Structure 1
Amino acid sequence: MKIDQLFKEFENIKVLVLGDVMIDAYFYGSVTRISPEAPVPIVNLKHKEQRLGGAANVALNLKSLGAEPILCSIKGNDADGDLIKTLCRKNGLVDALINDYSRKTTVKTRVIGNSHQLIRIDEEDTKDIDESVEDLVYEAINSLISEINVLIFQDYNKGLLTPTLIARVIELCIAKKVPIVVDPKFNNFFEYQGVTLFKPNKKELQQAENIGEHLNVQGVKSVAGLVRKKLNASKIMTTLSEDGVLIIGENGTVHLPAHARKIVDVSGAGDSVLSVAALCVACGVSDELTAALSNLAGGIVCEQVGVVPIDKDLLYAEAMELEVSERY
């Protein structure tokens, strides 16, 4: 498929993003002295920012790419939960957010002094949702399943994605022939049975298989192939940082090295890779083209400061310049 045709097709894709949402808060200031109370810097606060984080950042990436995301998650019945709803509206995101009255909304606050992060403060409740909340989440998904072209599990191990909910949603998607894309974390790693595309990074892959030593690309291929078989997944896509991206699927193995770039900040790169890969899956393009575009997306985001959605125009321009559709 030609790149211009594919990017136009992105605009016809509706994606259900199911995962843990949070607020990413930033306190920015200057440091000129050490506290007399303890050996810690005093930050003279200049300004604050509050942004959508977690699964919501995946939704923002999808929207930036022209797709139509629907964000399904839980939040606390609190001011931070209200803020998530407000930020979704401001960013034009359709949400299916459900109140969990037993927990607080997850907030991660970073204190930045003189452009350096000094500390991160996490406010969260990571216990599994109870059965009644799980049923509400499932009902929301069931009501939307006929509208969507692909479903993304974005798992941060914050309690939304329980083994039973994962199994129920996968069964529903398979019955409705909706492709499933997964960004896993450790706790539920092997719960995602029979999905379309499973996307761990190299560290997560090694952690799941309890491999401590360094793995070269060939070693990652071997481990990823084993994990794919354990999961009965159609394909597994592993991000390898400076070594690029690897996809192992029914049609063989694709490994594309990373492009040389000036890396500024790797935050959020995985979300951009996942978003592009999910849209490629929904559009039915080859593993080679999926790997190439996802690889470009991750690299572009790494050249920018902070967690920012992928710029569709930049991605399109690079893909055209490199003649990605002709090469892959």
Structure 2
Amino acid sequence: MGVEADKLRSLVDGFNGKSVVVLGDLMLDHFVYTEPRKLSREAPVVVADYSSESYRPGGAANLAVILKRMGARVSLVGAVGIDEDADKLLGELKSSGVDISGVVTTGRKTCVKRRIYVGKRQYLRIDIEDRTPLEGPIADRVLAMFSQSLEGADLALMSDHDKGTLTPSLIYQAVELARTAGKCVVSRPKVEHVFDYTHTDSLVTTVREASEAVGVKILNDSSIRNLGFNMLTRIECGSVYLYDQNTSYLFEQSSVTYVPPLAKFPYHEVIGVRDVVTAAYGLAYVTSRNPLYASLISRAAESLYVEATNGARAQISEAHLRESISRFFEDGYSYRTVKVR
């Protein structure tokens, strides 16, 4: 079927002013840039000269910033340590306009992903993190902050990076709180927790991670369908959107929609693409209550982001999304929906 670009653009216009609560694992991304000079005599490694460095919100914090740039009002709920990295992260979030009143402090270290670049290539990543699950009073405080932030919100987005914030117990309680409050709930789980996100409105994940979670090897179209409907039935959610750089798949109760790529890009190394997909999908979903429109708009955001020279620096706004929709959907793009039940 064809796509009405005007309809998609009008939905993006509706992003402005939507209120979103993001609950998940907060991280700080640290980028260190160097230039190669010679090979070391000490070990088979490159000796590089330091050029510069930068800090950016990562994980659920990055998702919150992207949502803000797309026009939403964003409240962030999660946990950080009491350290300089937390100060840097919270400073970046505050300057981006994200409400950080729901962020609680813990005795453990703030999660940091340090990426070392030599020239234009990422050479090494060092993860500094404590993945111990949040429990007891700290988990209770996070849940209390989430409950408070739901007031006036349109959407609850749960961003799981398996860093300890979203435990099975907290996930269950958070979903129940949001549903009781009548909020739309969209989840982006990690493999270990996929089946904890029951009764959400929609779930977004990659084809690869879905395959790992369910234990279904992707061999052909039949295995893809088995995977998607298995998840839909077991999670008891309204829809499941599985994406990758090739065809993406939207599973609803009686149909599967095949959503082709908008452009061909080698994006396996692009940092933050999952957050862009989740942000666009969640905002489009709560604006339209239509998972198909959400999948198409997220595909546009994904292609626009990956097309950038360096995904870690790309900034996707409402205006960028409208331009992307005009470019990708005005020229005969089509998707295919198959009724199966």
TM (norm. structure 1) is 0.93
Unpaired runs of 5+ residues, structure 2, are: 1-5, 336-341
Contact 1:59–1:93, Cα closer than 8 Å, also in 2: yes
Partner of 1:52: 57
Q: Cα distance, 1:162 vs. partner?
A: 0.9
**Partner Cα distance (1:162, 1:214) in 2:** 28
Q: How many residues align?
A: 324
Partner of 1:274: 278
**Partner Cα distance (1:163, 1:288) in 2:** 29
RMSD: 1.9
Q: Deviations over 1:241-291 (max 9, x none)?
A: 222x21111362221100124446532222111111111221134332222
Give the aligned residue type for 1:320.
S
Contact 2:205–2:242, Cα closer than 8 Å, also in 1: yes
1:258 aligns with 2:264: no
Contact 1:77–1:104, Cα closer than 8 Å, also in 2: yes
Q: Which has the higher contact order (CA 8 A, sep 6+)?
A: 2
Unpaired runs of 5+ residues, structure 1, are: none
**Partner Cα distance (2:120, 2:185) in 1:** 39
Contact 1:16–1:148, Cα closer than 8 Å, also in 2: yes
Give the aligned residue type for 2:240.
I
Where in structure 2 are the equivalents of 1:283-298 lying within 5 Å? 283-298=287-302
1:154 aligns with 2:159: yes
Give the aligned residue type for 2:126.
I
* Aligned partner of residue 219 in structure 2, secondary structure: coil
Q: Deviations over 1:130-183 (max 9, x none)?
A: 210011011111112121001011000000011111111111111111111111
Partner of 2:183: 178
1:246 is aligned, of 227, 245, 249, to: 249
**Partner Cα distance (1:277, 1:20) in 2:** 19
Contact 1:195–1:234, Cα closer than 8 Å, also in 2: yes
Q: Deviations over 1:200-249 (max 9, x none)?
A: 101101111223x4433442222111111000011100003222x21111
**Partner Cα distance (1:136, 1:190) in 2:** 24
Where in structure 1 do 4 or more consecutive aligned residues deviate above 4 Å?
262-265
1:99 is aligned, of 84, 96, 105, to: 105
TM (norm. structure 2) is 0.90
Contact 1:25–1:51, Cα closer than 8 Å, also in 2: yes
Percentage identity across aligned positions?
25
* Aligned partner of residue 205 in structure 2, secondary structure: coil
1:228 aligns with 2:232: yes
1:65 aligns with 2:70: yes
Partner of 1:312: 318
